[in-house]
Amino acid sequence: MEEIRGFKVFNPDWTCREFQYEVGQTYKQERKPSICDTGFHFCKEAKDCFNYYRFDPNNKVAEVVALGEIAEEGDKCSTNKIEIVREIPWGELLSLVNLGKGNSGLCNSGDWNSGDWNSGNCNSGDWNSGNRNSGDWNSGDWNSGDWNSGNRNSGDCNSGNRNSGDWNKASNVAGCFNTEQHKLVFFDKETDMTFEQWRMSDAYYLMSQIDFRPTEWIYEEDMTDEEKAAHPEYETTGGYLKKRNNKDSCINWWNGLPEARRDVIKSIPNFDAEKFFEITGIRV
């Protein structure tokens, strides 16, 4: 019977499903293996193990060999005879699950990422396709907020650059070294609304429901041949990070709003339909 090599994750004490294992030992069951039922479970790819276990450096990870019958379903295998070949050091494991260098996260194709699923470099958040982001879902660079497609934003959902507020298409919105709440500019005109009031408003609540993500993880099984050719790193990461057109998300959100809630949005101070369309793609 052909041997199949793979990887298995254990608790820190080398147990799994309350069964005690030891490196260098071989274990056998008389029953036929069945996924999520009987047998000793493992994955052929190291990264796939973490679809079922936390990516925790306290856990043990080992290279294993299946010596018996094998059941396979998706990315998981089960065998009725397994050898625990050797422990895999955490540093080696990081090189197995990441395509780039110096990553402490999971499934990164860039370099020096401490988060997960990043295709850029030096990210400490998750799902970033840009560089040096400490937030999540950013496709730009140097963002500390979330869902930004521009650069150097500390707020959320900005498509411009260097914004510390929300939903800005322009750049350099907000000031520095302020100790008080200041009035906000909406649609390029001053208002009497503070940032706190905006965050507590019904309009902000409604807009926060938009599925606004500059990036979307596309799993290997959902990738087209063209996407696979353009993103060969999918063979290591199990997919790739696709940049989204968020105006489509805005339009879908708007189409699902009843008229009364659309009126809430149109009551935003200084509402300008043309500028709203320019930023969101929504024609009011």
Model confidence pLDDT, tens digit, residues 212-257:
766 778 888 899 999 999 988 888 777 888 877 778 889 999 999 9
Residue 40 within a domain: yes
User: Contact at 8 Å (CB) between 165 and 176?
Assistant: no
| Domain span holding position 78 | 4-96
Residue 28 within a domain: yes
| Predicted pLDDT at 140 | 67
Q: Which range among 83-97, 125-139, 209-223 shows the weakest confidence by mean pLDDT? A: 125-139
| Predicted pLDDT at 199 | 79
Residue 234 within a domain: no
| Predicted pLDDT at 23 | 96
Q: Could you give the CA distance from residue 126 to residue 118 in angstroms, rounded to a whole number? A: 6
| Residue 2: Cβ within 10 Å count | 6
Q: Which range among 110-114, 201-205, 239-243 shows the weakest confidence by mean pLDDT? A: 110-114
Q: What's the whole-number mean pLDDT along residues 117-146? A: 67
Residue 128 within a domain: no
Residue 66 has pLDDT above 60, yes or no: yes
| Predicted pLDDT at 43 | 95
Between 150 and 228, the more confident residue is 228
In this structure, what token pair is assigned to residue 197? Answer: 């009031």
Question: What percentage of residues in the chain have a pLDDT greater than 70?
Answer: 73
Residue 149 within a domain: no
Out of 158-162, 191-195, 215-219, give the one with best mean pLDDT.
191-195
Residue 211 within a domain: no
Residue 163 has pLDDT above 80, yes or no: no
Q: How many domains in the chain?
A: 1
Residue 264 has pLDDT above 90, yes or no: yes
Q: Which helix (H) or strand (E) holds 41?
A: strand 40-42
Residue 114 within a domain: no
User: Contact at 8 Å (CB) between 81 and 92?
Assistant: no
Q: What's the whole-number mean pLDDT along residues 151-179? A: 62
Residue 266 has pLDDT above 70, yes or no: yes
User: Contact at 8 Å (CB) between 243 and 150?
Assistant: no
| Predicted pLDDT at 247 | 85
Q: What is the pLDDT of residues 10-39, one digit of tens each?
A: 999 999 988 999 999 999 999 999 998 899
Residue 88 within a domain: yes
User: Contact at 8 Å (CB) between 27 and 38?
Assistant: no
Phi, psi of 238 (to 5 degrees): 80, 10
What single letter denotes the amino acid at residue 186? F
Q: Is 73 helix (H, G, I), strand (E, B) or coil?
A: strand
| Predicted pLDDT at 145 | 65
